[in-house]
Amino acid sequence: MGESNRTSERVLCVSTDLFKKHWDGKRQTYALSETTIFEQLSSCNPTFIPRPLAEQDKGYKQLIPYCLVKNSKGQYLCYERQGTEQRLHGLRSLGIGGHINPADSLSYNKGTFGDTTSLRDTIHRALRREVEEEIGLFFPSEAYTCVGLIQEEESAVGLVHVGLVYLLALDTEEIPGGEEIGSYEWLEATGIHHHLSTNRQEKPSSLEKSGAPATWSFERWSELAFSLVSLVG
């Protein structure tokens, strides 16, 4: 997205104060059902505000659907960031995600969503759109499994964003790719675990076989999302 579009873009946010009544930040991940997450988010005054304001005002948390993709062999999609988000540029990522815009909502009216279902449908539309844009394939909402929520404030991204973590299981290993994803590969879970738990400069044989060089730097959200996905297999 160009700089001029970013300036005019409106993104879905919740009140930080209300959000922290449910998730106080003492933990960075929460393994929760989608129903619980949306019921609680609905009470946090979800609304669309200008993105430049949301990036600067810590009174808001931008909601980001963040999806890990697994193929039929149980391997996870991994790619190097090459999009417009400079805070993540050059980092390896396991997740596909993006902001939620008014165009994703069919029911936002006069500053309110009205009910939990309206908020859920809006976030689902954004999730499906982001995945289709980035890997070139469309999947219905039923194909996605919600595994929890990311609430971390150690990174620049985490200070003003909240991650809604999903898992998408594919029956293929080939994806067309989009503007954010250039080259990609599929990694075994064991290789990802090895990389995230060590800082070695030389690859152990098990890590080499998994395809994950020890010199890669993963974005923080990939680590947190992978920990949630690992709970459900």
Q: Closest by alpha carbon to 130, among 7, 11, 8?
A: 11
Residues 94-106: pLDDT tens digits?
999 999 999 998 7
Q: Check residue 92 and give its pLDDT.
A: 83
What is the average per-residue pLDDT within 99-121?
Answer: 80
Which carries the bigger pLDDT value, residue 109 or residue 42?
42
Q: Check residue 146 and give its pLDDT.
A: 98
162-193 in b/e form (b: 16+ CB < 10 A) is bbbbbbbebeeeebeebebbeebebbbbebbb
CA-to-CA dists, residue 4 to 11, 52, 84, angstroms: 15, 11, 12
pLDDT for 225 beyond 50: yes
Give the Cα separation of 219 and 126 in Å (integer): 21
Q: Check residue 208 and give its pLDDT.
A: 46
Residues 70-85: pLDDT tens digits?
999 999 999 886 655 5
Beta strand 161-169 pairing with 60-70: parallel
Domain containing 208: what range? 3-232
CATH number at residue 126: 3.90.79.10
Q: Which two tokens stand for residue 78?
A: 């991994």
CA-to-CA dists, residue 185 to 46, 80, 175, angstroms: 36, 10, 10
Number of domains in the chain: 1
Tell me the whole-structure pTM to 2 decimals.
0.86
Residue showing tokens 């297999």: 233
Q: Check residue 194 and give its pLDDT.
A: 81
